[in-house]
Amino acid sequence: MDIKWNVTKSDIRKIQEFFSEYKDSDFVIKRIERNIRKRKRIPSRQTIWRVLVGCLLTTQQRSGPGSNVAFFLKEKPFLLGYAYIKNQKNVKSYCHKVLSDRGGIRRTKTISLQIAENFKKLELGLWNDLREQLKKLVKKSNPKKERDVAEIVAGNLDGLGPKQSRNFLQLLGLTRYEIPIDSRITKWLNNFGFPVKLSATALADPNYYQFVSEGIQALCSKSKIYPCVLDAAIFTSFDEQK
């Protein structure tokens, strides 16, 4: 059974009015530059690793401006970077010590285990497979191609479900249509008047996630706004409310 999304003129006007309020924010401008205008390239191993670790750190805890996670991710040198991890005999123990020493970061045992497991998988050969998947998005992408790659990423890397696999690809600058949908996005959509009352907890189900994603893409297509750019505007609006 297929669902036909009916986007009204009122929907288009509401989205465009909302976007016009935030289109000049730094976050939106940077998202447009990185994900829309900039020529796509396969990121370096170091960049891929840093983004992956960032996704694991921002799961199920505060990660916005001013949070402990945000400050940690900006630290230089970044002690969970690829150059540090590859020189550790016990990656899990090292990561747990680094995270515990920082304080204020939740799920340190789980994150440390996920980092260690992912590093092991990548070093045993997953790097090549992952880069082959990312290559598919370097050329002109489309919603289906982005969704397929996100699902493969989620299926191969520990800790990356439907949301964080999209976040991973978006942060690498490789996607335009598939976005990380979380409680802020569902809250915004519910306030906007999405035809179905959305639940953030249900997004762990890939089919439900796809349903919501297709609705967002339909709204954005009619409104002439890329989903990744609307995502940046929504996040900006929530950050300004704090």
pLDDT of residue 198: 87
Output the pLDDT for position 49. Answer: 98
Predicted pLDDT of residue 216: 96
In SS3 terms, the chain reads as: CCCCCCCCHHHHHHHHHHHHHHCCCHHHHHHHHHHHHCCCCCCCHHHHHHHHHHHHHCCCCCCCCCCHHHHHHCCCCCCCCHHHHCCCCCHHHHHHHHHHHHCCCCCHHHHHHHHHHHHHHHHHHHHHHHHHHHHHHHCCCCHHHHHHHHHHHHHHCCCCCHHHHHHHHHHCCCCCCCCCCCHHHHHHHHHHCCCCCCCCHHHHCHHHHHHHHHHHHHHHHHHCCCHHHHHHHHHHHHHHCC
Looking at residue 140, its pLDDT comes to: 79
Consecutive 10-residue averages of pLDDT for the chain (242 residues): 80 96 96 94 95 94 80 92 96 96 91 98 97 92 95 96 96 97 92 87 88 94 97 90 60
Confidence (pLDDT) at 199? 84
pLDDT at 62: 78
pLDDT of the residue at 242: 57
What pTM was computed for the model? 0.93
* pLDDT value of position 241: 64
pLDDT of residue 104: 87
